[in-house]
Amino acid sequence: QAELGKTQRNCYTLPGLDFSYGLCTLRTDGGVPEAIGHWNTVNSRPPLARRMPRDYITMNRGALKAGFTTAREFNLYYKIKDIRCKDKEYSCFNTSPPKVPADFTYGITARPSTPLFDLLQHKYKELWMEQQRAMTAALRAGKKKVTTLQQVCETRTTLLRKHPVPAKEESFWHLPRLEKVGPHLSTFPDREARKKALSA
């Protein structure tokens, strides 16, 4: 029984000090001296006879010759006459090698040697520069042809983009009868004081 007021101990009692852990392997090979003095050869196992796949082409041909047409009849024919592919026909090593001429050399052809004289004369740079000049000349000629052939007609939108209409000055609208009406009140003591205030 578990001790009262204490947790249950989930452990096992260990063996004594003279116990050796691990598996006991009994060596019967004799060790290194026997390996040097004798050669224990192992006989190879015979190859297992593998089950060849069904030869459906031959079975279908035979079923048609027998007069079977439905899928059920074909399945019954497969069960009765189970024809398997032959080992030589199914083997991938049976394919004949390709016919090669007698003087044929295997491998990849070596690339031609680099012309050092052209490298020293910077010939490749000159060729590249000529290609770039030809490309720019062709682009310019194409642009000229496009501009001459496709002359764009001016519309009101393009004209307004080139020459925009000047913006109108904003002017407030007033009644014409109230434009020349003088002030009703004058808070300045005299005209000179009014002129000084306006000039300031």
Q: Where are the domains of the chain?
A: 51-86
Whole-angstrom distance, CA of residue 198 vs CA of residue 192: 10
Q: Which of 15-24, 34-43, 92-101, 115-124 has the weakest average pLDDT? A: 92-101
Structure tokens at 53: 């796949």
Q: Model pTM greater than 0.75?
A: no
Residue 147 has pLDDT above 70, yes or no: no
131 pLDDT higher than 90: yes
The rounded distance, in Å, linking the Cα atoms of 78 and 94 is: 27
Which among 96, 63, 61, 101 has a CA at the least distance from the CA of 80? 63
User: Hey, what long-range contacts does 51-55 have (CB within 8 A, 24 or more apart)?
Assistant: 51/84, 52/84, 52/85, 52/86, 52/87, 52/90, 53/84, 53/85, 53/90, 54/78, 54/82, 54/83, 54/84, 54/85, 55/83, 55/84, 55/85, 55/86
Torsion sign, CA atoms 78, 82, 83, 84:
positive
Q: Residue 188's pLDDT band (boundaries 50, 70, 90)?
A: confident
Residue 26: what pLDDT? 72
